Amino acid sequence: MNVIEVNDLLKRYPQRTSKEMLTAVDKISFHVKEGEIFALLGPNGAGKTTTIKSICGLLVFDEGKIKIKDYDLKTERSKALKQISVVLEGSRNLYHRLTPIENIQYFVGIRGKKISKNEALDILDFLGIKEKANEVVYTLSRGMQQKTALAVCLAVDTDVLLLDEPTLGLDVISNVEFRRLLTNVKERGKSILLSTHDMALVEEIADRVAIINNGKIVVCEDKKKLMDVFSATGYKIKVRSEDTLERELDKIGITELTKESNVYDLTVDFKTSSELYEVIDFFKSRNVEIVSIEKQMVNFEKIFISYTNGSNS
């Protein structure tokens, strides 16, 4: 079952400096399945926040259709919005003069629900900030505030969570901790749509990912499949030869070459495994010694850059 369906979403903003409208989100479509972590990954200005704000009803979009758990956001707005809770980018998710407990009770209250102090404490405990339950939010660190915002989402107890740049501004330790927490939240049966330009976050916790660039989705795929496809293509090959090979190597599509005495370190991208065998035959036929062949480890950065042509993230 899909918990969110976005179809042909279009959002344009008026610009101050020109009469032309800026297309922030350009007819994008994707869906989030029940129980998964779906990441919207893109560089600055790609349209991630605009998408998240459209889904949570904070922006009026120009065209397209958004469904949240079968409720159409335009025609069944309040039912649709009841299905989700949101942590927006930045620090405006909480009342900073209230404590985490008070924030939880307040936000649960405005949803027409109730939560006891002990239940709220259990959630804060789950997120590792129970000892801060009664401190006012503005005295908490950025990471603790982010966990408090997540605690509010869990307390409101919707099945679907929307998180805009959840790890932005967190230090390395908090970042690692937050990733683990999001996985634990998913294990509680929640579905998560997050936007980010944090590739480590996507690599570690996302089930599926859509890469968005200039308002368009350039790829939407199961993360493991995407990583498999990419890791299948890159090889590091070390060969030894008394002869000069540079010219010959041009024929086999080397992407990187370094040479020390008579040892060549080569990086090659193969589209199919038969291309690899062709290269092995090529070396054999020239009596070139193959010292080693290694499949390159792929990280998400490489995938991201190849789809966005290196847009800044």
Ligand X SMILES: Nc1ncnc2c1ncn2[C@@H]1O[C@H](COP(=O)(O)OP(=O)(O)OP(=O)(O)O)[C@@H](O)[C@H]1O
Among 1, 17, 20, 44, binds ligand X (CB under 6 A): 44
Residue 64 within binding range of ligand X, rule CB under 6 A:
no
Residue 42 within binding range of ligand X, rule CB under 6 A:
yes
Q: Are 298 and 30 in contact (CB under 8 A)?
A: no
Chain centroid to CA 20: how far? 30
Task: Quote the least distance from Cβ 32 to ligand X, whole Å.
Answer: 17
Residue 46 within binding range of ligand X, rule CB under 6 A:
yes
Residue 100 within binding range of ligand X, rule CB under 6 A:
no
Q: Are 1 and 31 in contact (CB under 8 A)?
A: no
Q: Are 26 and 216 in contact (CB under 8 A)?
A: yes
Pick the closer one to ligand X by CB: 13 or 138: 13
* Both tokens assigned to 35: 């129980």
Residue 106 within binding range of ligand X, rule CB under 6 A:
no
Stretch that binds ligand X, among 41-49, 60-68, 138-146, 152-160 (CB under 6 A): 41-49
Report d(CA 227, CA 220) in Å as an integer: 12
Among 22, 58, 263, 290, binds ligand X (CB under 6 A): 22
Residue 49 within binding range of ligand X, rule CB under 6 A:
yes
Q: Are 67 and 4 in contact (CB under 8 A)?
A: yes
Residue 58 within binding range of ligand X, rule CB under 6 A:
no
Stretch that binds ligand X, among 31-39, 40-48, 108-116, 169-177 (CB under 6 A): 40-48
Report d(CA 45, CA 213) in Å as an integer: 8
Stretch that binds ligand X, among 39-47, 225-233, 238-246, 274-282 (CB under 6 A): 39-47
Residue 152 within binding range of ligand X, rule CB under 6 A:
no
Residue 24 within binding range of ligand X, rule CB under 6 A:
yes
Q: What angle do CA 81, 188, 29 make, to 5 degrees?
A: 45
Strands (E), the chain: 2-14, 21-33, 37-41, 63-68, 71-72, 84-87, 160-164, 191-196, 208-213, 216-222, 234-240, 254-260, 263-269, 289-295
Among 30, 32, 47, 80, binds ligand X (CB under 6 A): 47
Residues making contact with ligand X (CB under 6 A): 13, 22, 24, 42, 44-50, 197
